[in-house]
A and B are shown apart, each in its own frame.
Chain A
Amino acid sequence: MRYEAPQTVDQAISLLAGTHGNPRVLAGGTDLLVQLRAGFIDPELIVDIKQIDETTAITAEDGGFRVGAAVSGARLKEHDTLSLLWPGVVEAADLIGSTQIQGRASMGGNLCNASPAADTVPALIAAGATCALAGPGGRREVPVEEICTGPGQTILTDGEFVVSILLPARGSRSGDAYLRFIPRTEMDIAVVGVGVSLSLGADGQCSAARVAVGAVAPTALLVPAAAEALVGGVVDDAAIDAMAAAVRAVCRPIDDKRGTVAYRIEVAGVLAGRVCRIALERAGST
């Protein structure tokens, strides 16, 4: 097994594209190293992208922020203006692992690991975030909800990797939030996770919304019907109930050691309501 730490995106692409035997990208390594140790993977090459400026920087862009794919949860949380703009995304990243893990774990890794239960993914989808991908065929910008295609599966082609994630600008009177359900208080994996982002118009009515849910399908899902239940009216109990029902309607989870089908569907709706109320409160106070 070979380890490389290129300095540029192009070097990383040529390493990844030029190696057979399933080369793997190393960002924080909090999933990759566990998979290596457990013997799930045996790559010939590991490409550490943490020496590349673009993957480790947080930069302002068009009123939003571009976050390098390898930026750790701890650095994200310490970024005050980003935390003010997208608190739901930052709190989702902050839920991953322990304090020690927070020093390493990245949103890029969380996304590319392609777990249906990844915490940042529903929050990023709700935020309308996009990813900058770079590969032998050039660069492209792709919405986060299009990256994962199934458990452990992504649209990334050979030699292609996620360079950064763009959290877009947003107007005033906007808020986002993320909640997950776990049986413990921390150090666990979401049984269900829900992200909501919404904006209020001058009239107090909901002008825009995005709702995403994780751990209830092979990938995190954007739920347009849930957003439609909110947009164009006052976000009252009835609207929230309708939104929660729309979330439950798209859930197609499995029974496994972390939860049953019925339980996940039920709790997805409960969390959706709670998350929506937090996002609403945040929108009202900005």
Chain B
Amino acid sequence: MTDSNKTPSGNGTGNGKDYKWVGTRAVRPDGVDKVTGRAKFGADLHLPNMLVGKVLRSPHAHAHIRSIDTSAAEALSGVKAVITRDDFSDQPKGAVQPAGEMTINYRDMVRNVMAREKALYEGHAIAAVAAVDARIAAKALSLIKVDFEVLPHVIDPVAAMESGAPIIQEDLMTEGMEQSPGAMTNIAKRVEFGHGDVAVGFAEADVVIEREFTTQPVHQAYIEPHACVASMTEDGQGELWLSTQGHYVARGHCATLLGLDVSKLRVQASEIGGGFGGKTVVYLEPLALALSRKACQPVKMAMTREEVFRATGPTSGAHLWVKVGATNDGRITAADAVLKYQAGAFPGSPVAQGAQCAFAPYELNHVRTIGYDILVNRAKVAAYRAPGAPIAEYATESVMDEIAGVIGMDPLEFRLKNAPKQGSQSSYGPKFPVIGCIETLEAARDHDHYQSPLKAGQGRGVATGYWFNIGGQTSATLNLSEDGSVALVLGTVDVGGTRASLSMMAAEELGIDLDKVRPMIGDTSALGYNMLTGGSRVTFAGGIAVVGAAQDLIGTLKDRAAKFWDIPVDDVEWAEGEARATNGYTDNMQPLSLQEIAKDMAKTGGPIVGAHSINAQGAGPSFGTHVVDVDVDRETGRVWVTRYTVVQDAGKAIHPSYVEGQYQGGAVQGIGWALNEEYIYDDKGRLENAGFLDYRVPVCSDVPMIDTVIVEVANPTHPYGVRGVGETPIVPPMAAISNALANALGIRFTDLPMSPPRVLAAIKAANGDATTAS
């Protein structure tokens, strides 16, 4: 069964029945490996004759590369291969293809993995070597001579839009905007969404608030740095082991950049130590393959933390303008926003997604969002949880909070009054399917946290977030073993406990013990194509594929039972893990268990396999509302998050612990984004805080226990009602914390991060203290 885009009905179908596995907190199948240190991550594979690969990176934010002399490095004993831009063919212009939540342009990608004409950011790869050990590889890098012509650089998105700004790519044309002939620009794209007429809407408003905001680039801060092992043979076949969110996608990228047949490259995903969107692209992998192809030996490459910060995709920093009008009774009459996002050195910021999500939690008659994708001399941005949405919704949810305050309305009641429901036209066009925005807001309003009084000096803030979620191409197989246990082969990398949740749906469908299902992530030759793990899609799309594979398996099991009993298959049903005869045969035929059918499968027709391949549609969007309390040290500007509650619609929580984990993780990453995380550049465009000491993600003791409420408004397109849950949790925190600070201090912050110096300066300015401390 390989052709169906139709959702298999399965046993779930939102009928409210009690499930045996779905909704339980089963032990995860990868748990023992993770807690005992057995789990094999990207850098944990060791092959015979394996070389070590290292990358020479640009020390300049922007420079022409006049020449690269690798002769001395090649002559060094122990060096087996050296590669530069000359080892990669250029890619045709305009070859753009969608990949997950981002788009891929191979002409850009070949330049991003190895600089060609120019180094476009500090840390841009210039050359790479493979040597017998790390010391020799490092020595070889020091022997490579690069003749740079350093160029002026630009980091700030607003500065990059000005005429006279350093031009990152001389041949860039602005998509979606008229451009005078010959004029060079850093604006890669302009997008616009909305409906109605905002001028009409603002004319109806009693109160209008208009604010500008900035956000800084932030990194996904996955704990495991990028790492891979590549092995190419003399006959042009290859194997690649890597830490990735999508090994099929990585295979396609690498095959394209190296000019290989896709099927000649077999790719295996390692366990992954975090990705959050940052491991949806390739950096080291094409280099490792190219080095291995030259050396005809396996090559391992692993980034240092510093390389991760300098050379891999964070998300955009941005400049945001938001204007909202409302009537005194709390109805929003118009909403307008202009979003300017840093793309990094190549087009592709998530500004379109930000523009679409900006006002999604509201039903509006007049709305417009305009977005600009702007090139700057930083590493190209990569996806980061709900790419683009947290940036836009930080600004819009701050203004919504402020306007609710001005008209004297409770911020949750204000949101409820303007909340979208099924059939509402979204702010970006389509009508909403079944959604749980109102249910989520009501659950937040009624929660003990929102009802509890604050301590003196504290402030409370709320914000709502939205993310679309996606489906996509997915393939899964259930292979029945001779003892009745089942191997579940998946092609979607498990970043958030999906081996557990997908196994649970398989066990539920088959009516067998979860312990009898052994899930594994197959390599790229084991299954049809699987899109990467991203877009909060795996429990949704993977769930449909697994339920379909289980139904396919059950169909075969019923066939075999019918054959065994010699009765029509229509008179066989599958229930509680066994085939049962129906329609008058019941008395004569003892039910056949899965084990019994498996034992005799050779006699009834041979191996039994269930498979399902889909391009899943109908992902259910997810709304979340966060409630946060803060305390402020008014003498140092330090903000303490004292209580935090995440309320979000999951559709159906297959494994509640991992849903809660997503909610909590998003909140914690958001706390870091709100309070401390930022890229700090010097005047030459070099990153000053390329490490976790000075790029301050929260540590455990920085955050309170994050309370969670799982709202379940079933998604009718999924057999169990699942919505994606992984991304929405990072959307509300920045606005919620900013709103809490405004509540505590009476000061509206418009720049992230709200770090101690910035908060103290604002307190002192508000107190009329001339000697501001920032």
- Give me the interface of A with B, judged by CB distance under 8 Å: 38-39, 181, 183-189, 191, 256-260, 262-263, 265-267, 270
Q: Contacts A189-B693, A260-B757, A263-B756: A184 and B699 contacting too (C-beta < 8 A)?
A: yes
CB contacts under 8 Å to A, within B290-314, are 306
Q: Contacts A183-B696, A184-B696, A257-B689: A262 and B771 contacting too (C-beta < 8 A)?
A: yes
In the complex, per-residue mask of B733-774: 1 if CB is within 8 Å of any chain A CB, else 0: 000000000000000000000011100110000000001111
Q: Contacts A188-B696, A263-B774, A266-B773: A183 and B638 contacting too (C-beta < 8 A)?
A: yes
- Among residues of B, the one whose C-beta sits closest to the C-beta of A260 is B757
Of B688, B701, B760, the contact of A186 (CB 8 Å cutoff) = B701
- Which 10 residue pairs spanning A and B have beta carbons closest together? A185-B701, A263-B757, A266-B773, A270-B635, A262-B773, A263-B773, A257-B680, A257-B688, A257-B689, A187-B699
Verify A263–B693 contact, CB threshold 8 A: no
B137, chain A: closest CB distance, angstroms: 13
A188 to B699, CA, bound (A): 10
Interface of B is mostly: loop
Is B675 close to A, CB under 8 A? yes
Interface residue range, chain B: 20 to 34
Q: List 5 A-B contacts (CB under 8 A).
A: A181-B636, A183-B696, A184-B676, A186-B701, A262-B772
A181 to B760, CA, bound (A): 13
Verify A259–B689 contact, CB threshold 8 A: no
Contacts of A189 in B (CB 8 A): 693-694
Is B14 close to A, CB under 8 A? no
Other A-B pairs, 16, CB within 8 Å; known A185-B699, A267-B635? A38-B306, A181-B638, A183-B638, A183-B676, A183-B756, A186-B699, A186-B701, A187-B699, A188-B696, A257-B680, A257-B688, A260-B757, A262-B772, A263-B756, A265-B773, A266-B773
Is B515 close to A, CB under 8 A? no
Is B702 close to A, CB under 8 A? yes
Contacts of A181 in B (CB 8 A): 636, 638, 756
Verify A183–B755 contact, CB threshold 8 A: yes
Q: Contacts A257-B694, A262-B774: A184 and B756 contacting too (C-beta < 8 A)?
A: no
Of B693, B696, B701, B774, the contact of A260 (CB 8 Å cutoff) = B774
In the complex, per-residue mask of B10-32: 1 if CB is within 8 Å of any chain A CB, else 0: 00000000000000000000000
A191 to B638, CA, bound (A): 12
- Among residues of A, the one whose C-beta sits closest to the C-beta of B772 is A262
Verify A183–B699 contact, CB threshold 8 A: no
Verify B693–A188 contact, CB threshold 8 A: yes
In the complex, per-residue mask of B168-183: 1 if CB is within 8 Å of any chain A CB, else 0: 0000000000000000
A207, chain B: closest CB distance, angstroms: 29
A252 to B165, CA, bound (A): 36
Verify B702–A184 contact, CB threshold 8 A: yes
Contacts of A265 in B (CB 8 A): 773
B322, chain A: closest CB distance, angstroms: 27
Contacts of A266 in B (CB 8 A): 760, 771, 773
Interface of A is mostly: loop
- Among residues of A, the one whose C-beta sits closest to the C-beta of B703 is A185
A231, chain B: closest CB distance, angstroms: 25
Verify B636–A259 contact, CB threshold 8 A: no
A183 to B639, CA, bound (A): 9
A189 to B689, CA, bound (A): 13
Verify A185–B774 contact, CB threshold 8 A: no
A173 to B306, CA, bound (A): 49
A181 to B633, CA, bound (A): 11
Contacts of A256 in B (CB 8 A): 688
- Among residues of A, the one whose C-beta sits closest to the C-beta of B764 is A266
A234, chain B: closest CB distance, angstroms: 23
Contacts of B680 in A (CB 8 A): 257
- Among residues of A, the one whose C-beta sits closest to the C-beta of B769 is A266
In the complex, per-residue mask of B687-725: 1 if CB is within 8 Å of any chain A CB, else 0: 011000110101101100000000000000000000000
A185, chain B: closest CB distance, angstroms: 4
A119, chain B: closest CB distance, angstroms: 14
A184 to B635, CA, bound (A): 16
A183 to B694, CA, bound (A): 10
Interface centre among A183, A186, A260 (most CB of B within 10 A): A183
A191 to B696, CA, bound (A): 13
B154, chain A: closest CB distance, angstroms: 20
Contacts of B774 in A (CB 8 A): 260, 262-263
Of B138, B698, B760, B771, the contact of A184 (CB 8 Å cutoff) = B698
A262 to B675, CA, bound (A): 19
Q: Contacts A184-B702, A257-B688, A270-B636: A263 and B760 contacting too (C-beta < 8 A)?
A: yes
- Among residues of B, the one whose C-beta sits closest to the C-beta of A38 is B306
Interface centre among A39, A181, A257 (most CB of B within 10 A): A257
- Among residues of A, the one whose C-beta sits closest to the C-beta of B688 is A257
Contacts of B696 in A (CB 8 A): 183-184, 188
A153 to B306, CA, bound (A): 26
Interface centre among B636, B638, B680, B699 (most CB of A within 10 A): B636
Verify A267–B694 contact, CB threshold 8 A: no
Contacts of B701 in A (CB 8 A): 184-186
Contacts of B676 in A (CB 8 A): 183-184
B225, chain A: closest CB distance, angstroms: 14
A206 to B231, CA, bound (A): 73
Verify B675–A183 contact, CB threshold 8 A: yes
Contacts of B771 in A (CB 8 A): 262, 266
A187 to B700, CA, bound (A): 10
- Among residues of B, the one whose C-beta sits closest to the C-beta of A181 is B636
Verify B757–A259 contact, CB threshold 8 A: yes
A267 to B764, CA, bound (A): 13
A279 to B756, CA, bound (A): 25
- Among residues of A, the one whose C-beta sits closest to the C-beta of B637 is A263
- Among residues of B, the one whose C-beta sits closest to the C-beta of A273 is B635
A38 to B691, CA, bound (A): 11
A266 to B698, CA, bound (A): 24
Interface centre among A184, A186, A270 (most CB of B within 10 A): A184
Contacts of A267 in B (CB 8 A): 635-636, 760, 773
A117, chain B: closest CB distance, angstroms: 11
A106 to B553, CA, bound (A): 63
A251, chain B: closest CB distance, angstroms: 12
In the complex, per-residue mask of B510-542: 1 if CB is within 8 Å of any chain A CB, else 0: 000000000000000000000000000000000
Verify A185–B635 contact, CB threshold 8 A: no
Contacts of B760 in A (CB 8 A): 263, 266-267
A217, chain B: closest CB distance, angstroms: 18
Interface centre among B138, B676, B688, B702 (most CB of A within 10 A): B702
Contacts of B636 in A (CB 8 A): 181, 267, 270
